[in-house]
Amino acid sequence: MGTVVIQRIYHKEAEKIGEKVKKRIAEIEAKMTINKPGGEINALNDTSGKDYVVLGDDTLYVLDKARHFSDISNGAFDVTIGPLVKAWGIWSDNPRIPQKSEIDELLELVDYKDVLIDKDNSRAMLKKTGQVVDLGGIAKGYAADEAINIYKENGVESAFISMGGNVAVLGGKPDGSPWRIGIRNPKGSQGSYIGIVSVKDKTVVSSGEYERFFEKDGVRYHHILDPKTGYPAESDLTGVTIVSDLSIDADALSTATFVLGLEEGMRFIEGLDGVEAVFITKDDKIYITGGLKNIFEFKDESKEFEYVEKR
């Protein structure tokens, strides 16, 4: 999934359980990737505008969730962003800036409402030829949730999995204390952070312009594309972190919230049950939603950021 996977499993069969998780993640990636041949999402994209494709339970569930978050975010997260992702190639070895005419043409293909899901017959289709579903903004979250399920099924009571910006924890640490998850400093190096959330049985997912980008003529182009403009999102945020029960939810919501920006993103998250967020703005301020007040610790070693307790 284009990232390093780290597991900490406290159990006498830890190694064996960790292997089961690795196998499950590989299985999910094979079904849902658009970065290599084969798999169910490629089959769906290959028949866009033509016919329905039968999908397995995993892919149908993730696609349905992606459609849901596209819907409730009013397209700030859009599962049909694929044509633009491919055109920019920011995840590839050869990123480029597409011509505006090309972007305008591809924007015609970006519309989550064109994803038709027929649950009764376990199938889906895309309305227009050339449309491309990209589950890159949500599949990692599903994989993390599946890891937690495997831990539970195997009697694990304390575990941690990190997949890049996606962290999910089962229970607390072996001594009963909460896991302390660092929130990345978007301007700092890998491993630097601006705060810590202390959690049990939660997921912590971060998105930001620091994750993947390229620079041309002194301008940075990051990987979080705005489905309405076709360009990297010009948000007033440099990073956002979502804390919730399910990683699949947090994965999609972190992208949507980044695109929406601070004010709209804060309203959006505050309107959802069981979801909290940390926002890092371009003017180096940190804001949090109310539910994190007792579990967020502002810890900025760089001394560059200001924690604003109330907006």
User: Does domain 157-307 match CATH 3.40.1160.10?
Assistant: no
d(C-alpha 232, C-alpha 298), whole Å: 28
Q: Write down the pTM of the prediction.
A: 0.95
Residue extents of the structural domains in the chain: 157-307
| Predicted local confidence at residue 164, as pLDDT | 83
Of 93-97, 208-212, 222-226, the one with minimum mean pLDDT is 208-212
User: Which has the closest alpha carbon to 201: 163, 173, 182?
Assistant: 173
List pLDDT tens digits, range 254-267: 999 999 999 999 99
DSSP 8-state symbol, 50? T
**Contacts for 95 with CB less than 8 Å, ≥ 6 apart:** 88, 89, 214, 221
List pLDDT tens digits, range 3-19: 899 999 999 999 999 99
Q: How many helices (H) and strands (E) would you count in the chain?
A: 8, 16
Backbone angles phi, psi at 44, to 5 degrees: -60, -45
Per the prediction, the chain carries an average pLDDT of 94
Question: What is the pLDDT averaged over residues 230-249?
Answer: 96
Beta 296-298 vs 53-54: how paired, if at all?
unpaired
Of 143-157, 214-228, 240-254, the one with minimum mean pLDDT is 214-228
List pLDDT tens digits, range 264-294: 999 999 999 999 999 999 999 999 999 999 9
Question: What is the pLDDT averaged over residues 46-55?
Answer: 98
